[in-house]
Every structure is written in C-alpha cells, then in structure tokens.
A and B are shown apart, each in its own frame.
Chain A
Amino acid sequence: MRRLGSVLLWIAVSAAGAVAFGVLALVRGEPVSAAWLVIAAVCTYAVGYRFYARFIARKVFALDQRRATPAERFENGRDFVPTGKWVLFGHHFAAIAGAGPLVGPVLAAQFGFLPGTIWLIIGVVLGGAVQDFTILCCSLRRNGKSLGQMAKEEVNPAAGVTAMLAVLFIMVILLAVLALIVVNALKASPWGLFTIACTIPIALLMGWWMRSWRPGAVGEASLAGAVLLIAALVGGGWVAAHPVLGPAFTRSGPALTWMLIAYGFLASVLPVWMLLTPRDYLSTFLKITTILVLAVAILVILPPLRMPALTTFATAGEGPVFAGKLFPFAFITIACGAISGFHALVASGTTPKMIRRETDAPLIGYGGMLMESFVGVMAMIAACTLEPGIYFAMNTTPAALAGASQALAQAGFTVTPETMHALAQQMGETTLLARTGGAPSLAVGMAQIFAGFTSAIGGKELSSLWYHFAIMFEALFILTTIDAGTRVGRFMLQEIVSHVWPRFGETSWYPSVLLSSAAIAAGWGYFLYQGVVDPLGGINSLWPLFGISNQLLAAVALCVATTVIIKMGRARYAWVTVAPLAWLVAVTMTAGVQKVFSADPKLGFLAHARTLDPLTNPSAARMIFNDRLDAGVALLFIAIVGILVLASVREWWLVLSRRKPAETKEAPFVAVAAL
C-alpha cells in the first residue's frame, strides 16, 4: 500500500512538471505566470534527486554508511570535522553559490525565458549536479584530495599539471568578468559606491572584533556588521543627494577599475583575518538571507513574465546583449546554475573533509547544486518580469543598441526615454541606460519583486532602497570572490614558480607575496580594463570566455570522474559522466571556434580586429591587440580541453582493453565500527 502511494505520488509530481513545461512551451502572446517556472523546476529537481541521484549513489559509487569517511578517520576539530548533513548542505551551498547563477540567466534572457530555463533545469539534473556529486564521491573515497591531485593520480601527471594551469587561467578570466559586473553596477552610482566602500571599514572592524577584542564572537561581529551595513545602505541615499559627497562618490568605469585592482591586491597581501574572512561571513549571511527572502517573495506575488518564451535573437545570433546563436552560447552564458566546473574545486576541497556519512553525499553534492539551479531560475524570473524594452535598454551599449534597433523595434521591444528616466528616478539613480553586465537589471527586477512583496504585506514599496540593497548584495559577494580568488591565485602562482625558484613558494616571504599578488591582480585587472573600455561592452567578449573556461573545468572534472568510474570496474555506468562530458566538449569547442574564427565581427575576435583601422581610430592598435589576446586565450582553452580529453580517453582505452591494470588510488575500507 505504501509502495503504491509512493508510485502515485511520483507520477503526480512528474505529471505536474510535464504540465508546467507544456504551459511554458506552448503559451504564446500573453504573459506567463512565474509559478509555471517554479513548478517545472521543483518537480524536475524532485524527480532527479529521488531517482537519478539515488541511482548514482547506489549503482555507480555504492555509497556505504558503514564506511568511515575522512572526517571521521582524520578528525582534528578544524579541517576534518564530521558535520550534520543539513548543516553541511548549507555550508556547501554557501561556498558554491555566487554571482554566476544570478548574472548568467539574466544575460541569457535575451533569447527569451524558455531556452535558459530548460538548460538550467535539465542541465543541472543531468550535468551540473552529477559533476558536483561524482567529484564529491571521488574525493570522499580519496581522503578529501583535490581535483588536481586526483587528475594527476587517476589520469596521468600531465593531466594533473594541465588541470592546475587550467584552474589558474580560469581564475584570471573569472575574476576579470566578475569585477566587470561590479564596475558596471557602480559606475556613476554614488549610492552604490558609498555602500560598497563602507563594507571595507566594516569588515576591518569585524576582523578586529572576532580575532582580538572578543575572540570567536563571529555571531556578535556579524550582527554588528549587518547593522552597520544597513546604516551604510540607508546613508547612501543621503550621500548621493549631498552636493559635495555625491560627486565625490560618482566615479567612472576606469577609475573604479583601478580601485578594484588595488582592493584585490591589498586583500591578497593583508592577513586573511583582517579583511577577507569577515567579508566572507558578512556576504554569506547576506547571500543566504536574500536568496530565501527572494524565493518567498516570488512565491507570494508570482509575478508575470513579460519577456516572450523565445526571441528572434535565439536563431538570428545578433543579440544586442551578446553576439551568437542559442547554440552554443546559451549553454556558455549560463554556466553556474546548470553546470559549473568551479564547483569541482569546492566538492574536492572543504566539503569532503566534513561529511559524516557517505550516504549524506547525494543531499550535499547533488542537492546543493539543485539549490543553486533554483537560484538561477529565480534570477531568470527576476529578469523576465521586466518589460523587454527596459531589459534591452539596460543591458545594451549605445553602439550595440544602434545596430540592433531595427530588430528590437520589429520584436516590439521598445521603450521611451521618459520611461527609462522615470525608472531611474524610482530606483534612485541618474540613469539606467546601458548598465550592462546583468547586475543592474537583476537589481531592478529584484527591487520590483521586493517592492511588490512589501506592498502586498502592507508596507511601503521602497524601490530605491531595494534596488541598492540588491546591488550591494551582488557586489558584496562578488568582491568576496575577487579577494578570495586573488589570494588563491597567489598561492597557486607561488607553488608553480617554486618549482624553479623554491624560495618563491614560501607563502610568508613578503617579496614573494607582493610579487605574486601583483601578478594575479594585474592579470585579471588587464582583462577587466579591456572590458571596461570596450565600446561593445566587455560582457560581449569576456562573459563567453568565462563560460568557456568554466565549462572547460567541468570537462576536466567529468574526465576525472569517468576515469575513476571505469577503474572501479563500473564502466557500464560511465555514460553518467560521459554524456554531460560529450555535451560540454561540443559546446566548448563550438563556442571557442566561433569566438575566434567567426567572420561576423560582433562574434569573432579576429574578424573584429580586421574591421579596425588605425588610421581612423586612435584606439585601434590597442583593440586589435586585445582581440588577438582574447583569441589566443580561447585557443588556449580549446587546446587544454583537447589535451585533457585525449589523455583521459587514452587512459580509459588502456584500462578497458586490459593493457593497463585498473588501479585506483581509493583509500582502503575502514568500517565505522572499527574506529
């Protein structure tokens, strides 16, 4: 009877999901309620978690709750700490969720809400969550080893070195693109800049509070930080209107670029407790709270989606937000939220050292990624609740807007200057035109949802406050990624150079600290500056590079996972990781080749370089160099994917043809009862 009830329940869940997808796919010409997106997502996640995650746990990895985990075997009260599964779910989610699942879907909304939503939901169930979960299982069975170590030991040493270099290159591009989002959100926004600037002294105060004044009082310090943050947010409105302070906090893109580079450098060289750790606590608090409130607000007001399911840019490939057709660019633009290689670093970092039971891994690895996908779906909803004309006016540079004006007019995506001016005033800004990067349009969408929510429960709308709250929320955790990323990049560079200059590897030797921090900050800073001064908007060139690099890392992770599965003697289940790997290789290669060699100057780096004439354009020489540099980076990523896939396929063939014994580096079984 119980089994029958279960079968009927899952049939009902599946049917509800199918109906929701049907409505999303078939309804045309009228706004669709966001409820259908939520139902489609939640039902698909439930089915994927209940059946597919369980299948991988039982059949592929045979997770065993009697087997002691690294957290139990090496428990030290610090890194290796057995942690309850729901607590670790929250910790893991806080580590994997950043700006990516919020910004990617907003940019991909130029194709309409349907392609991005389908990729977010199906991609995560069959790809992203599988990658996170399988890498977590692999690391769990190898004493919590990192992705690079596993690539070296399970595939071959060359793959390990390639993976390490890949992570470093990805870090540089990732930090540049995230910083670009912050610059575009804060330029000419005194309110936003003041609020974000205040987070630095607030973090310094928190660091002193919890390390020296009241050691360990993280809760107290975070609470004080949150109160000061709200004061800074409210005070930002006053600062923006002040005749002296307002202009002082009104800065151009290039000026903000230099400030961010200096910030990244300082955060990397200062003691970690002083700035980085307190900011991390503050941003984690804010991230989890805001995401929960956004989810509740969307479920309460269920806003209608004004963006159509599919726009003409999906097939024409001449979208004003970024160039390129739906395939492969929707799958590159939305990385985090569907599949993100960066998660493999977390799933083979702190999380496997904290799992109490092997059987907790599906909830944490697979479930954590489903949750991130849901954040992506919420971002898609927030972006698509905007009038399409407003969305395109905000996310398009004047140059790109001029080129796409006819297509936008034909699609009915127009907006008057008066509407944009009124919206900017409502949000407490001077202008919202050409605020590319995704963050400002997401902030307007979130502000409208929050304002609708506070209005629905009897309060005031407070749109401008909510807009700047959303900007602060996004910028705060992007900056947390930038400071942590610059620091981690510094450690990696120190380790790489130490092979030829051992002293450089000493992480406390200040000349090495300063040089490596400067090199990493200059690396991402260069790409950032290039993006900020790019007349087409840096998002057009940098975001695809970021997507390609992130998916490349996912391909590395899936190669490692497949190798482990084959060496475990479960080659019949290798399709679990090979299928998403094949898809990623197809997407990454296609996007990379198009970005380099496409004859369309809006799309291809080299074609764009050919259109520039140094005689008529004084910036042409610099732009040609940047185009060629971007082409070189894309080709480098393609080469890295090729090397890793070939190295892995060779290893699989050697093992499957019995030319090489199937030896894995799995830690020996230790029973829980034996500890």
Chain B
Amino acid sequence: MTLRGILRVIRRILGAPDYAAYLEHCRAAGHEVRLTEREYVREFLDNKGKAPRCC
C-alpha cells in the first residue's frame, strides 16, 4: 500500500475530511464539483458533532 493509501485509511478511521474521495465521487456520479477543498473541509467539519461518542 502506498503512503497516500495509508493516509486515506487513517483519515477514514478518524472520520476526517477526504477531499479526494469527494472528487472521486463527483467524477463517478457525473456530478459537477460544487465545492473547493476549503469549502468542502469547512462544510465537513461544521457538520460534525451531531453523533454521540460512546462511553
């Protein structure tokens, strides 16, 4: 696995924003890329904190 792949795994486990995954999704779904990386990260981080962390 490449370093990029390892970092992606860590991002997913942490629940961190992954702009590359968003771009891939837009490409695969044929959607227009609506958000810049800065906008994507802001929206992602602003929407966190709605799920409980367990005890």
Contacts and interface: CB of A to CB of B under 8 A. Distances in A.
B48 A95 contact: no
Interface in A382-400: none
Interface residues of A, number: 57
Interface string A455-473: 0000000000000000000
Contacts of A546: 55
A76 B55 contact: no
Contact of A272 (B12, B17, B41, B49): B49
A481 interface: yes
Contacts of A211: 41-42, 45
B14 A285 contact: yes
A170 to B, nearest CB: 9
Residue among B15, B45, B48 facing the most chain A CB atoms (10 A cut-off): B45
A345 B52 contact: yes
Contact of B54 (A77, A84, A218, A346): A346
Given A75-B29, A216-B37, A98 B53 contact: yes
Interface string A341-378: 01101100110000000000000000000000000000
Interface string B1-36: 000000101111111110101101110010000000
B14 A94 contact: yes
Contacts, number: 136
Interface stretch (A276-284, A565-573, A593-601, A627-635): A276-284
A77 B21 contact: yes
Contacts of A91: 12-15
B52 A488 contact: yes
Nearest to A492: B52
Contact of B26 (A77, A87, A285, A343): A77
Contacts of B53: 95, 98, 280, 477, 480-481, 484-485
Interface in A471-492: 477, 480-481, 484-485, 487-488, 491
A276 B7 CA distance: 22
Contact of B45 (A174, A277, A342, A346): A277
B46 A171 contact: no
Please tell me the size bucket of the interface on B.
Answer: 35 or more
A491 B37 CA distance: 28
Contacts of B29: 75
A288 B13 CA distance: 10
A485 B49 CA distance: 9
A215 B54 contact: no
Given A211-B41, A273-B45, A100 B52 contact: no
Nearest to A478: B55
B46 A481 contact: no
Contacts of B54: 95-98, 100, 336, 340, 342-343, 345-346, 481
Chain B contact residues: over half helix, strand or loop, or mixed? helix
A90 interface: yes
Nearest to A75: B25
Residue among B37, B40, B48, B54 facing the most chain A CB atoms (10 A cut-off): B54
Contacts of A83: 12
Contacts of B21: 77, 81
Given A81-B21, A480-B53, A215 B48 contact: no
Contacts of A345: 51-52, 54
Given A210-B41, A342-B55, A349-B51, A216 B13 contact: no
A163 interface: no
Given A98-B54, A346-B52, 20 more contacts: A77-B21, A78-B22, A78-B44, A81-B25, A83-B12, A84-B9, A90-B13, A91-B14, A95-B15, A210-B41, A215-B38, A216-B17, A218-B16, A276-B49, A281-B16, A343-B54, A346-B54, A350-B51, A481-B52, A488-B51
A219 interface: yes
Nearest to B11: A218
Contact of A171 (B16, B24, B45, B52): B52
Nearest to A345: B52
A99 interface: yes
A661 interface: no
A61 to B, nearest CB: 23
B11 A487 contact: no
B20 to A, nearest CB: 10
A271 interface: yes
A34 interface: no
A550 interface: yes
B55 A99 contact: yes
